[in-house]
Amino acid sequence: MKHLSEYRDARRVQEVLGEIHETVTRPWRLMEVCGGQTHSIIRHGIDQLLPAEVTMIHGPGCPVCVTPIEIIDQAIAIASLPETILVSFGDMLRVPGSEKDLFQVRAEGGDVRVVYSPLECLKIARENPEREVVFFGVGFETTAPANAMAVHQAKQLGVRNFSMLVSHVRVPPVLDALLQADDVEVQGFLLAGHVCAVMGYWEYPPLAERYRVPMVVTGFEPLDLVRGIHRVLRLLESGRVAVENAYERAVTREGNKPAQAIIARVFEECDRNWRGIGPIPHSGWRLRAEYRDYDAARRFAVEGIRAQESPLCRAGDVLKGVLKPTECPAFGKECTPRHPLGAPMVSAEGACAAYYNFGRFERSTQGG
C-alpha cells in the first residue's frame, strides 16, 4: 500500500530520532491522544528510543475504553431481549459491563452480530422485519459520519425496526477537561490524525492558546509519530505555542465538510459521562429531536440503568495519563485480556492491552 513502507522506513525513523536527541535539553511530558497511536508507539518501542527526558503519556483516545459502563449494561439489556438483534463493531463484545459482556449474552442465546459498517445494519433490519435491529454506535468523530448516515438513511427509507444506542464522544472537550485537572501534567499533545481528517484542526488553536500547550496533528506509522513528536518538542524548546499539521497527506485545517454536514444534520452536542473519568460538558453527541425515534435507549426504556466500576480497576487514571498501565496493581494479575476488569485491557486501542500484548510488564521508571 502507498504510504505504508515509506513511513515504516527504519533508517528515516532513526534519523528523526537523532534529531530529537539533539533537540531536547530538558524534561517534557507529551500525550498522544489516540489509542491507535499508543499501540503503534508501544509496538515499535518508540517511547523507549526517545531521550530519557521525554515521557509519553497515553491519553483517553480509545472510544471503546471511555464508553460508560452503564451504556454497556444498556446494550446488554437490549441484546438480552428475544425480539432484538444487537449489532456492533467487534471490539465492543469483550468490554465488561457490571456483571457480563456481550460475548456472554451471545453465548446465552442472544442475537449479537458483528459488522464493519453501520450501514450493514439497515440490510439486516430489512431482512428481519419482525425483529428490532439495534446498532451500538460508539466512537469519536471518526465513526460519527457513517453512524449518522445510517440513521439518516433509515429515516429516508422508512426502516422502522432499526435504532441506534449512541455513545459518541468528542476530542476537544476532553482535552479541555484534562488540561484543567490538577493531577494531569501534559506539556504538549499529539492530535489524532483520523479525527482531524474528519473535523479538521480549527477547534484546537483556542485550546492551545488558553493553556499555552502546543499541539501537532500526527499520523500512526512510526515515521509519522517520531516526526510529530519532534515538532512538538521543537515548539516546546523554543517556547512557542502553535497547532501544526504533521499529517498533511490526510488532514486539512477545515476537514471533511460533507462528513461534518451529515454529523450536524443528525446529531447535536450533549454532556457525556466518560468511563473512569466522569461527566464532561458538551463532550458528546446525541440524536437530534427529528431523529429521536431512532434512539434505542428511549425505544427500549433503558436510560435509567446505572452501574459501578470495579473498585480494583484504575482505568480512569490510565485514561487520564495519571498512571501507566503497569502501575495499576491489578494489571496482569486480576486484570488480563481473558478476564478484564476494564475496557483498556480488551479494546484494540486500549493502553493496557498494548502493554500486555507487547510484553510491557515492568513498572515504568519514567513516571506518568
Distances in whole angstroms, Cα of residue 352 to Cα of each of 186, 310, 365: 20, 16, 17
Distances in whole angstroms, Cα of residue 163 to Cα of each of 14, 68, 140, 272: 49, 19, 19, 20
In degrees, to the nearest 5, what angle opens at C-alpha 147 toward C-alphas 143 and 152?
Answer: 150
**Can you name the residues that pair with 191 across neighbouring β-strands?**
217
- Whole-angstrom Cα distance, residue 56 to residue 45? 11
What percent of the chain shows pLDDT beyond 90? 82
What's residue 364's pLDDT? Answer: 47
* C-alpha Rg value of the chain to the nearest Å: 21
For residue 88, report the phi and psi dihedrals to the nearest 5 degrees.
Answer: -150, 165
Span 58-95, pLDDT tens digits: 999 888 899 989 999 999 999 999 999 999 998 899 89
Distances in whole angstroms, Cα of residue 288 to Cα of each of 119, 265, 266, 269: 19, 8, 6, 9
What's residue 365's pLDDT? Answer: 41
The larger pLDDT score, comparing residue 362 to residue 315, is at 315
B/e letters for 248-267, b = 16+ CB within 10 Å, e = fewer, are eeebbeebbeebbebbeebb
Instruction: Enumerate the domain spans of the chain.
Output: 5-60+178-245, 65-170+255-299, 315-354
- Whole-angstrom Cα distance, residue 70 to residue 84? 19
What's residue 363's pLDDT? Answer: 59
What's residue 3's pLDDT? Answer: 61
H or E segment and range at residue 49: helix 46-49
Confidence of residue 310 (pLDDT cuts 50, 70, 90): confident
Amino acid letter, 157: L
Q: What is the topology classification, in CATH, of domain 5-60+178-245?
A: Rossmann fold (3.40.50)
Helix (H, G, I), strand (E, B) or coil at 102: helix
Residue with grid cell 468511563, as numbered in its chain = 275
Mean confidence (pLDDT) of the chain: 93
Q: Which CATH architecture has domain 65-170+255-299?
A: 3-Layer(aba) Sandwich (3.40)
Helix (H, G, I), strand (E, B) or coil at 212: coil
Mean pLDDT score, 202-223: 97
Mean pLDDT score, 343-359: 92
Q: What is the DSSP letter of 136?
A: E
Mean pLDDT score, 298-311: 87
H or E segment and range at residue 220: none
Mean pLDDT score, 206-234: 97
Length of the chain equals: 368
Mean pLDDT score, 130-152: 97
Check if 5-60+178-245 and 65-170+255-299 are the same fold: yes
